[in-house]
Amino acid sequence: MRILLFVVLLVSCSVSMADEIRLGVHNFPPYITVDSAGHCSGEAIEITRDILQNDTIKVNTVCATAARLYKMLQSGEVDLTINIKHTKALPNDVSFVEPPYAQLTLTLLTHGAAIAREKHLTIAAIRGFDYHGQRHLLSEQGYSFTDLPDSLSAVELFVKGRSSALLTYEGPFIYYLQQHNLPFAKHYQRRVIETIDTHYVISAASAHQDYIRQTLQHYATINTLSYFSRQAISTD
């Protein structure tokens, strides 16, 4: 009787796990925000849930740092996330969904006075982000990276004057200024490096990879989407 009960429970757990899609996210406004209690919300979660969730499949979110999410993709602890294609820390066997989720603007911000006077230039950035090769290029130019767990931590370090520069995607920086009612300071020097598409990234270890890919692509096709995101980032 105990063996039979164990088998029934095991099958029930397997069914529950098979009906769950886990979306891995990190603090990256305006697409994803994480509150003080660690609760994640935002457009990216809502859109993903609207497309993939149905009567038999539930989409749950896993909130983690970007560096941890890459490891979770490798192990299959999360089924998908959203990321640019060229991050070196991504597993080699992930797949990307077309069209892109959104287009990001990669920006280098500096404190003008700090760049002129400091001998050892520091740059705030997200741990695990390669920034499309810019991390290596800026290191060669003499910058020393201060890595933070998420985008807003990096922005805050820079805004408070604790780093000479900030390598960031524009969205989190603008979001931080808006949330704290801060203007774009006159002494900030801004250089747009490039625009980069970010995509849904599917784990090769996901039991749902075919469903995720086909459902996202079908949704994009019937709605003639160029991007999944409904956000337009302003730099004003």
Averaged pLDDT score across all residues of the chain: 89
Are the C-beta atoms of residues 21 and 210 closer than 8 Å to each other?
Answer: no
- Six token digits for residue 113: 């006075």
131-157 tens-digit pLDDT: 999 999 999 998 999 999 999 999 999
Instruction: Catalogue all structural domains in the chain, each as residue range(s) with its CATH number.
Output: 2-102+198-222 (3.40.190.10), 104-196 (3.40.190.10)
For residues 82 and 199, what is the distance between their CA atoms, to the nearest angstrom? 5
31-47 tens-digit pLDDT: 999 888 888 999 999 99
For residues 114 and 67, what is the distance between their CA atoms, to the nearest angstrom? 29
Mean pLDDT of 23-28: 96
The pTM for the full model equals 0.85
What does the pLDDT read at residue 15?
39
